[in-house]
């Protein structure tokens, strides 16, 4: 497997970046090691390079660290053994928030280059075996990163029994199921990862998210509250609780948790996302649409809500409003979530009688999915039949008349 390492320096402004780079130059690493002087450089590297190891220099918890660890989890996986923080005497709250990402390695500033050298060597030995759990987990996450649904399905099938005995593979398999829109099985994989390692908190957090999406909101809230007992100062969990209470219809509590997340230094983008979700859930569609202008990379919970509201609008005879919502949503959700929005946009166009545009949305859906699939072909056949009837082509209409009417994809 091709891979490399990045070292991201988040020390306060004025720190001697040259000294860190010089310290690294004294070592001969067996893989490329890239020095990043900012969180932006680190995230860009995670999104474009085959990174496996990440070491972050930081003295305290921050939004920048949150962004980095989130990006690593999404682009590489949730492998704590391949990540570390360089810090002298980290405070308990700092360690607790780092541990939320399954990371428990802290390097001393006086020995960090030696520790990095040892970490890279261990990683090299581990990833040299293509059947190692770590290799399988990374390959699975890389397939999700590519957003091709067919490739994700193939990657899930290729991991064999590894998810049954390794919590990191089970977690990665859950994320792949999530990317496929299979939230029931995603929840089962997260539950399996949790049973394999009760200390691995990412699986518990993701299980809560999957429970929310599948309508088991009270179970999700109970799970999040259990996690609150051991770390009440995690901004991401406040956001999850805000989403859960929004789904439950308790918008007062949802707003309280969103505010708490903001006060704890939570990601402004995530706080804005949950605020838009609250507006959407409480029927304030115009407010939600305005808020969406500032969003990007929206997660599965918000994407599911957008699809749900769009379906209801379209079925209520408000296909134009649904189409506006789908088009706005398509710009802000993660790549692997886009194809359902394209499909539902096509269905809204079908209701509006704009069959040419419906076919264009279906073509985009197929490209985003990675291939055609039965449900898409049924919808395409129905659209073509309706188009033929509209233009008075009896031969084409008869040919496609047997196609079942399309249904909404939630």
* Domain range for 40: 4-128
The dihedral over CA atoms of 42, 64, 91, 87, expressed in degrees to the nearest 10, equals: 20
pLDDT higher than threshold 90 for residue 301: no
Give the single-character DSSP code of 405: P
Largest Cα–Cα distance in the chain?
Answer: 80
50 within a domain of the structure (yes/no): yes
pTM equals: 0.86
Query: pLDDT of 147-198, one tens digit each?
Result: 889 999 999 999 999 999 999 999 999 999 999 989 999 999 999 999 999 9
**55-59, 177-181, 265-269, 399-403: the lowest-pLDDT one:** 399-403
- Distance, in Å, from the CA atom of 286 to the CA atom of 290, rounded to the nearest integer, reads 6
Q: Rounded to a whole number, what is the distance in angstroms from the first to the last CA of the chain?
A: 37
Query: pLDDT of 110-132, one tens digit each?
Result: 999 999 999 999 999 999 999 99
pLDDT higher than threshold 70 for residue 393: no
Mean pLDDT of 369-374: 92
Contact 406, 350 (CB under 8 A): yes
227 within a domain of the structure (yes/no): no
CATH of the domain at 17: 3.40.50.2300
388 within a domain of the structure (yes/no): no
The three-state secondary structure class of 105 is coil
Q: Provide, for the chain, the percentages of residues in helix, strand and coil under a 3-state DSSP scheme, each rounded to the nearest 5.
A: 70, 5, 25
Mean pLDDT of 23-50: 91
Give the single-character DSSP code of 302: H
How much is the pLDDT for 147?
Answer: 84
Q: Cα–Cα distances in Å, from 186 out to 19, 122, 192?
A: 45, 30, 10
Mean pLDDT of 5-22: 78
How much is the pLDDT for 397?
Answer: 53
How much is the pLDDT for 94?
Answer: 94
143 within a domain of the structure (yes/no): no
Q: How confident is the model at residue 15 (pLDDT cuts 50, 70, 90)?
A: low
Q: Chain centroid to CA 231: how far? A: 22
Return the beta strands (E) in 231-339 as ranges: none
Give the single-character DSSP code of 3: -
Count of domains for the chain: 1
- Smallest CA-to-CA distance from 254 within 275, 228, 284, 283 is with 275
Query: pLDDT of 61-82, one tens digit each?
Result: 998 999 999 999 999 999 999 9
- Distance, in Å, from the CA atom of 403 to the CA atom of 380, rounded to the nearest integer, reads 9
Give the single-character DSSP code of 335: G
273 within a domain of the structure (yes/no): no
In sequence order, which ranges of 76-200 are alpha helices (DSSP H)? 92-99, 112-127, 133-146, 149-158, 167-179, 183-196
3-state secondary structure 200-257: CHHHHHHHHHHHHHCCCHHHHHHHHHHHHHHCCCCHHHHHHHHHHHHHHCCHHHHHHH
How much is the pLDDT for 267?
Answer: 83
pLDDT higher than threshold 80 for residue 392: no
57 within a domain of the structure (yes/no): yes
How large a percentage of the chain has pLDDT more than 90? Answer: 76
- Distance, in Å, from the CA atom of 159 to the CA atom of 181, rounded to the nearest integer, reads 19
How much is the pLDDT for 356?
Answer: 95
154 within a domain of the structure (yes/no): no
Q: How confident is the model at residue 14 (pLDDT cuts 50, 70, 90)?
A: very low
Q: HSE-up of 266 (CA within 13 Å, CB side)?
A: 24
How much is the pLDDT for 377?
Answer: 95
77 within a domain of the structure (yes/no): yes
Q: How confident is the model at residue 55 (pLDDT cuts 50, 70, 90)?
A: very high
How much is the pLDDT for 212?
Answer: 93
């Amino acid at each position: 497997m091709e891979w490399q390492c990045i070292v991201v320096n988040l020390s306060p402004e004025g720190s001697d970046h040259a000294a860190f780079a010089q310290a690294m130059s004294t070592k001969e690493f067996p893989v490329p090691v890239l020095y990043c002087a900012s969180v932006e450089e680190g995230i860009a590297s995670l999104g474009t390079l085959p990174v496996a190891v990440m070491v972050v220099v930081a003295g305290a918890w921050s939004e920048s660290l949150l962004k980095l660890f989130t990006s690593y989890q999404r682009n590489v996986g949730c492998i704590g053994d391949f990540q570390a923080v360089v810090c002298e005497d980290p405070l308990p709250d700092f360690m607790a928030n780092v541990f939320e990402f399954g990371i428990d390695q802290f390097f001393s500033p006086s020995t960090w280059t030696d520790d990095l050298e040892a970490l890279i060597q261990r990683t090299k030995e581990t990833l040299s075996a293509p059947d190692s759990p770590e290799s399988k987990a990374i390959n699975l996450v890389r397939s999700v990163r590519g957003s091709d649904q067919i490739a994700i399905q193939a990657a899930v099938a290729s991991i064999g029994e590894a998810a049954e005995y390794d919590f990191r593979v089970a977690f990665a398999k859950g994320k792949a199921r999530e990317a496929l829109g299979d939230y029931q099985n995603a929840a089962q994989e997260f539950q399996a990862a949790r049973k394999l390692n009760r200390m691995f908190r990412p699986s518990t957090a993701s299980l809560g998210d999957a429970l929310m999406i599948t309508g088991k909101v009270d179970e999700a809230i109970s799970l999040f509250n259990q996690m609150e007992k051991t770390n009440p100062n995690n901004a991401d969990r406040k956001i999850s609780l805000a989403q859960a209470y929004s789904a439950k219809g308790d918008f007062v509590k949802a707003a309280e948790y969103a505010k708490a997340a903001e006060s704890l230094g939570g990601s402004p983008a995530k706080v804005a996302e949950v605020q838009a979700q609250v507006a959407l859930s409480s029927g304030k569609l115009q407010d939600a649409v305005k808020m969406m202008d500032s969003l990007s990379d929206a997660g599965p919970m918000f994407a599911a809500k957008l699809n749900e509201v769009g379906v209801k609008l379209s079925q209520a005879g408000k296909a134009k409003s649904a189409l506006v919502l789908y088009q706005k949503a398509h710009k802000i959700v993660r790549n692997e979530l886009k194809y359902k929005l394209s499909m539902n946009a096509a269905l809204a166009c079908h209701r509006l009688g704009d069959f040419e545009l419906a076919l264009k949305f279906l073509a985009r859906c197929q490209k985003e999915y990675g291939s055609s699939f039965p449900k898409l072909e049924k919808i395409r056949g129905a659209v073509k039949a309706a188009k033929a009837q509209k233009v008075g082509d009896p031969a084409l209409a008869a040919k496609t008349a047997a196609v079942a009417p399309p249904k909404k994809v939630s």
